[in-house]
Amino acid sequence: MVSDKTRDKIKKNALTLFANNGYDATSMEKIATGVGIKKSSLYAFITSKEALFWEIYEDLESQYHNYMEKSLAESESMLPTERLYYLFKQYLIGTRNEEPAARTFWIRVMFFPPVILKDRVLTRALKHEMGLGERYTKIIKDGIQQGLICKEPPEEILLSYYSLRQGLYSLMNVFMTDLTEEQKLDKIDKVWRNYWQGIKGRQC
């Protein structure tokens, strides 16, 4: 349908504007101009800029969580140690496969959320990530019980896991953009090996 195509075009254009210019600098006028329609016509498809932002956010959030659920399901039969590495790598590979506008959108929203939406964005992101974090914690606990991971508080191990993952994510998307995909995969492997030397089963 024409209306569906127009709506998709609106969302795609708004995503690019939000990603590149930020929420505050993106006006309904700019969105309409990018789509090739009048600003007044835009309201036939979306009620407000904030509503459009959240529709885009929820679409990307759903894609991310579906991807991570798929990765969790695929790794279910692995040993805890192998599973943690697999999820670490799949997260970084998956974000590399995102369209550039979506990747830039996430970086901007997570690190520089719009002031007017900051509390809601961070609360929502924390709620969903805590759900995944509980799954990771279970994997870590299984690894500790099996003697594969050192006996440290699982929450502390998870914190270091997240810190490493998000730090490498930021580096790869800001300072390592000139590396080839093969080089980036090599970086992921080497960073993980160094991390693993610190958490593998031993007397901590």
Residue 183 exposed, middle or buried by CB count within 10 Å (0-12, 13-18, 19+)? exposed
pLDDT band at 203 (very low <50, low <70, confident <90, very high): low
At 5-59, the pLDDT tens digits run 888 999 999 999 999 999 999 999 999 999 999 998 899 889 999 999 999 999 9
At 177-190, the pLDDT tens digits run 788 888 888 988 99
Q: Which of these, 48, 124, 140, 131, lies nearest to 88 by C-alpha position?
A: 140
Nearest-Å Rg of the Cα atoms of the chain is 20
Q: Which of these, 110, 70, 63, 62, lies nearest to 90 by C-alpha position?
A: 70
Contacts of 98 (CB under 8 A, 6+ apart): 106
Q: How many Cα atoms are found within 13 Å in the side-chain-facing hemisphere of 35? A: 26
CA geometry: angle at 12 spanning 9 and 18, to 5°?
Answer: 135
Give the integer Cα–Cα distance in Å for 113 and 22.
Answer: 9
pLDDT at 201: 60
At 65-120, the pLDDT tens digits run 899 999 999 999 999 999 999 999 999 887 666 788 998 898 889 888 999 999 99
200 forms beta bridges with 149
Q: Report which of residues 116 and 174 the model is more confident about.
A: 116
Residue 174 exposed, middle or buried by CB count within 10 Å (0-12, 13-18, 19+)? exposed
3-state secondary structure of 168: helix
Contacts of 26 (CB under 8 A, 6+ apart): 14, 17, 18, 49
**CATH class of the structural domain 54-199:** mainly alpha
pLDDT band at 2 (very low <50, low <70, confident <90, very high): very low
Question: Where exactly are the structural domains of the chain?
Answer: 1-46, 54-199
CATH topology of domain 1-46: Arc Repressor Mutant, subunit A (1.10.10)
